[in-house]
Amino acid sequence: MALIYDPEARAELIKAAAYYEACRAGLGKTFLSAVEGSIDRLCRAPLRWRKIGGRFRRCLVRRFPYGIIYTVEGKDIFIAAIMHLKRKPGYWRERFRRPD
C-alpha cells in the first residue's frame, strides 16, 4: 500500500510538531512518533477506523488531541489532514487526491 499525503496535511504535521517543540524540547519529536504510530496502525488495518463523512475515516493519535483523516483509494491510502480535534471541524472535507 502506498501512503500519499495531501500537501496541506504534510504542512499541518510540520506546524503541529513545531508548536509542540516550542512548548517543550523533545515534545515535537514525541508528537511525530505518535503520528507515525497511528499511521502504522491504520496501514495495517485501513478499514478498521470509523468513517466520519463519505469516504473519509479518522484514526486518533495517542497522547495528543489529533486525528489522521484519510481515505482508502484502491491500494493507496490518501491522508487528507492531520487535524486538531478541537479546531475547525470539517475544514478538510474539500480535499481530494491531487493528480501525481
The residue extents of the domains of the chain are 2-87
DSSP code of residue 9: H
- The DSSP output letter for 95 is -
The whole-number pLDDT of residue 91 equals 62
Give the range among 28-32, 56-60, 71-75, 95-99 with minimum mean pLDDT.
Answer: 95-99
DSSP state of 61: P
What are the tens digits of pLDDT across the range 19-55?
Answer: 999 999 999 999 999 999 999 999 999 999 999 878 8
Residue at grid coordinates 488531541: 65
Query: Which CATH number fits the domain 2-87, given the four candidates 3.40.30.10, 3.30.2310.20, 3.30.450.30, 3.40.50.720?
Result: 3.30.2310.20
User: What's the one-letter identity of residue 27?
Assistant: L
Q: What is the largest CA-CA distance in the chain?
A: 40
Rounded to two decimals, the pTM is 0.86
Q: How far apart are CA 100 and CA 92, in angstroms?
A: 20
Q: Per mean pLDDT, which range of 15-19, 73-77, 87-91 is the poorest?
A: 87-91
How far is the C-alpha of 9 from the C-alpha of 23, rounded, in Å?
21
Burial of 41 (0-12, 13-18, 19+ CB in 10 A): middle
